[in-house]
Every structure is written in structure tokens, then in C-alpha cells.
Structure 1
Amino acid sequence: MTGYDNNRGAQAIPGRRLKILFSVIAPEEVPDIIPASDVIDLKDPSKGPLGAPDTALVKLTKETLISSGHGHKTISASLGDALTRHGDYHKLGRQMAEAGADIVKIALSALAPEDALFALTLLRQSLPRRTALVAAVYADARMPGAVTPELLPGIAQSALAQGILLDTMVKDGRTIFDHIPAPLLASISRDAKNRGLFVALAGSLGIGDVEQAISAGADYVGFRSAIVKNGGRGSVGVDGAKAMSIRRKLVEFSAPPKDHAGVTALSL
């Protein structure tokens, strides 16, 4: 995660290597996904798609990363859904940051644009400068008069957030690509990047979605359903081998192009 200037908003992430975010819901899941992850994402699915985890999980995750020699790994934490412009989101965000979260994200799909901007701005102002803020919306939960995926980049930029997340509310096997046409998704991604924001995609994604996520212009892509061992995404237990398979797929599709002699081509 790069730094940012409060007067300008986020700095675009250099390069085109997609970064992988794996979501965990319990401390015992963390060691299994450390090798394959760029970001360890913490949430509580029982509270919603972006349900806020207990701050104790954030602290334990940070301790696990440090003790295993992976203290440089990024931790993200969900803050839930903003339902009103006035809420304790800013307090919760600060608590998550103090516990060790490098990124906090909040869903804005239930708010009108002006209320979303108010809530997001207040949250940004309450966070340490080192903590990145991500504004999220659900592609399958559009409400009349509420924030849409198309409006999200402008709101995020105005609030001095660092990135946007496009996710799905209903986890029924349909992905973000089933709810937003590819041309529109690419357009939203370009808009966000032109505003200095990074783009994250999630929503029932699997190993077969990596190439499409790269084509859509994502900087981060999130997984949970694809790596659980048994039961649904709310069941404890992840498969490190599945996570590593996704990582290998990412490396395969994001590797630099090679010339006809098999040598990596460089753009000069």
C-alpha cells in the first residue's frame, strides 16, 4: 500500500500486478493463507457481506504475522454497512486501525450520495494517515437514490479515500461480473484510476475469474468462497492449497510479456 497526500487523495498503485486478498473469519485460518496472500482481510459474515470483525481478531492477526516473520503483510478490516450519515463508523475505524488494520472499508450502498460523502469524509478524518480507506458498494443491491458503482469513484475522491471496492451483497454463486457488464466495469475502473484511486473487486470470485479481473483493471481481487474447506463462507476453515492455486493463476496471467526468443520484453 502506498502513502497518500491528504490534499490530493490517494496515489495510484504503480504497475499492473494484481494483488490477492483472502478473507478470514477466525484466528486459526490466518496461518493457512499467509503464503498465498498479499492482504489478509478480516470480516464477520454473520453480520453481513462486509460485517465488522471483533478488534481482537485484528490484534491476533497482527501478532501472528509478526511472530511468523510476515509483519510486512497488509491487514484489511471491514466496518460493515453505513446506514445513516451519522454513525459510529469513525470510532470503529479508529479502533480497527489501532488494533493493526492497514486498510478499512465500509459499504455505502444504503446511502444517498451526499450522505455517503459526509460519512466517508468523517471516517477519513478520524483515521491515522497511514490507514487507507476504501469505499464499497454492492453491485447487486442498487437502491433508488443511493450510491451506485458509477458514482463511487467521485465520492471516494472527494472524501480523500484511497480506493474503491465493488462487491456483491448476495452470495449465490453469481460474481461481480454477472452484475456489471465488462465495458461498464472497465469504465468505472478507469475513472477511479484517473482520480488516483485503487480498485478492488470481490463477490463470489473463483480461480477462473483472475484473468477477467486483470482485464477489468483491478488492483486487488478478494476471495473467500473459493478457499473454504467445508460448508459455506461463514464456516471456519480454509484450504491453503486452494489459495496457492489462485496465487499461481495470478502469477501466470500477470507475468510480463516475452518476445519471440523467450526473453521478457521491456518497455523503454
Structure 2
Amino acid sequence: MTKWLASVQSLEEAKALSQTLPDILDLKDPASGALGALPLTTVQSVVQWVNGRCQTSATVGDLVMQSDVITEAVKAMAATGVDYVKVGLFAQPMLEACLARLHEALIELETPVIAVLFADQPGDISLVSKIKRAGFSGVMVDTASKNGLRLLDHWSTTELNDFISASREHQLLCGLAGALAIEDIATLEPLGADYLGFRSALCERRQRTLSLQPARALAIQERMQSYGLAS
């Protein structure tokens, strides 16, 4: 069953969703890039407030593709108690070498780590097998440029289906995000991803850095449930 993820940037935003908690409450700073990291203390306070009522995830920031930098950030974020840590794999020359070096660090972690690919950057689904070998527990596709273009502006449903199939083949959790709108649920639901991620669709004027609107979260939750999805 496809679940849904909502990204929040503060404890206050998390509390605003107290009546419509998503399956995964994601923590990131939308003003600091595609996967901007929040202070560890903020993440920890949200995790404590959630108290197991839903799963939590957090991003580690838009990092350079160096294994030591990523490892340090992942370990620090995992120590907050989140259920998943998300790492962006940006299209940089050292990406594949970085993946090869991450294996030892990731397999030692108890917290699952999710790789994030970007539909608007060069790359292909052949990376999925390397992500698995590196020790990641899941992979999602998002958009790096927050310019109003959505995931479906970059990848067709055929490409998304291939991505999901590759994730399944390698036994990876898989997610779809990238300026998703509530209307996209009807298109993406048949693909059977593990979760769909939302931020801009939750916010005033669909601007990801503006305030979160609980009514929008409720609308997404109800739409997901109308398809027999989410909790």
C-alpha cells in the first residue's frame, strides 16, 4: 500500500499536523536547498513530540559527494532518533566513487538510510544497483531545482515505473517526490511506490518555503484514503 510523507520545517509545523499525521513526517529546511538539513535539536524535538505516532525521516543537507562528509552527517542525524535518514545523491563527478566507499559506514548503522536521486539531473536507474551495494535501505526520486516544475514534468510514468521496478528488484524501499500536487495522486497511485512525498502541496500558494496549511494536508490524506492508500 502506498503511504504518504509530509515535509515540515519546525516543531510548530509538525504540531499543526497533529490531527492529520502522515505515515512519514519528514524534517527538512526548504530554504536551504533541495534537501536542506534542520538543526539536530529541532529534529530531536520533533521526534520526541511524535513519540512513535508515525514514522519520521530527516535530510542531511545538500552535501558534496564525499563519503567522509556524508558519513559524519548521517551518523549525527541518526542519533536524533529518526526512523530514516535521507541522503541526496547529486550528479557530481565523484558520485560513484563516493557510493563505493559508503558501504562500510552504512551497514554499521541501525538507522535505515534512504538515497535520493534527482529527476532533473543527469543519471539513470543503473544507479539503483550501486545504491543497494552501498548499503542503502531505500531510494527515492525528487527534484533538485525548486522552480515550479514537478516530477512528472521530468520523468514519464514509464520511467517512473522502471525506477520502481528496479527498486523492487533490489529490495529497496522506494518513494516519489518533487513538487507533487494532489492531482498527481491519481497518476502515481497505479505505479505502486512505497510512498509519495509532499511539501509544496501542503503550503500556502504552493510555495514550499511558505507556511504549511493543515487543510491541505487533510485534503491529501483524504485523497490518498479514497484510493485505499495511506493509514
**TM-based fold match above 0.5:** yes
Alignment partner, residue 224 of structure 2: 250
Instruction: Name the structure 2 match of 1:210.
Output: 185
Alignment of 1:54-133 (within 5 A): 54-66=39-51, 71-111=52-92, 112-127=94-109, 129=110, 131-133=111-113
Give the letter aligned to residue 99 of structure 1.
T
Structure 2: tracts of 5 or more residues without a match: none
After the TM superposition, list the runs of 4 or more consecutive aligned residues in structure 1 that deviate by more than 4 angstroms.
none
d(CA) in 1 for partners of 2:49, 2:158: 41
Structure 1 residue 96: Cα displacement? 1.3
1:199 matches 2:168: no
Whether 1:51 and 2:51 are equivalent positions in the alignment is no
Q: Does 1:138 align with 2:118?
A: yes
Cα 1:86–1:199 change in 2 (3 A) is: closer
Task: Tell me, yes or no, if the aligned pair for 1:23 and 1:41 is still in contact at 8 Å.
Answer: yes
Partners of 2:104 and 2:124 in 1: CA distance: 21
Q: Could you say what secondary structure the match of 2:178 adopts?
A: coil
- Give the Å deviation of 1:122: 4.7
Q: Distance in 2 between matches of 1:246 and 1:240?
A: 10
The verdict on how the C-alpha distance between 1:27 and 1:159 changes in structure 2, with shifts beyond 3 A counting, is: same
**Matched letter for residue 118 of structure 1:** A
Asked if the contact 1:85/1:118 (under 8 Å) is kept, the reply is no
**Where do 1:147-158 residues align within 5 Å?**
148-158=123-133
Q: Deviations over 1:208-230 (max 9, x none)?
A: 11122222331111111011136
Q: What residue is the counterpart of 2:12 in the other structure? A: 28
Q: CA RMSD in A?
A: 1.9
Alpha-carbon distance in structure 2 between the residues aligned to 1:121 and 1:83: 17
Q: 1:179-217 deviations in whole A, cap 9, x for unaligned?
A: 012112101111110110111111000111112222233
Are the aligned partners of 2:67 and 2:102 in contact in 1 as well (CA < 8 Å)? no
Question: In structure 2, what is the Cα distance between the partners aligned to 1:89 and 1:114?
Answer: 14
Partner AA of 2:16 in structure 1: D
The partner residue of 2:145 within 170, 177, 197 is 170
Paired with 2:65 and 2:224, the residues of 1 have a C-alpha distance of 38
Which amino acid in 2 is paired with 1:94?
K
1:179 and 1:65, CA in 2 relative to 1: closer, same or farther beyond 3 A? same
Equivalent position amino acid for 1:24 in 2: V
- Whether the 8 Å CA contact 1:109–1:138 is kept in 2: the answer is yes
Quote the residue 1:6 is aligned against: none
In structure 1, distance between residues paired with 2:138 and 2:65: 21
Q: Is the 8 A contact 1:30 1:61 kept in 2?
A: yes
**Structure 1 length normalisation: TM-score?**
0.79
Structure possessing the higher radius of gyration over alpha carbons: 1
Matched residue, 2:3: 19
State the Cα deviation string for residues 9-48 of structure 1 (Å, max 9, x = none): xxxxxxxx11111001111100122424011101112221
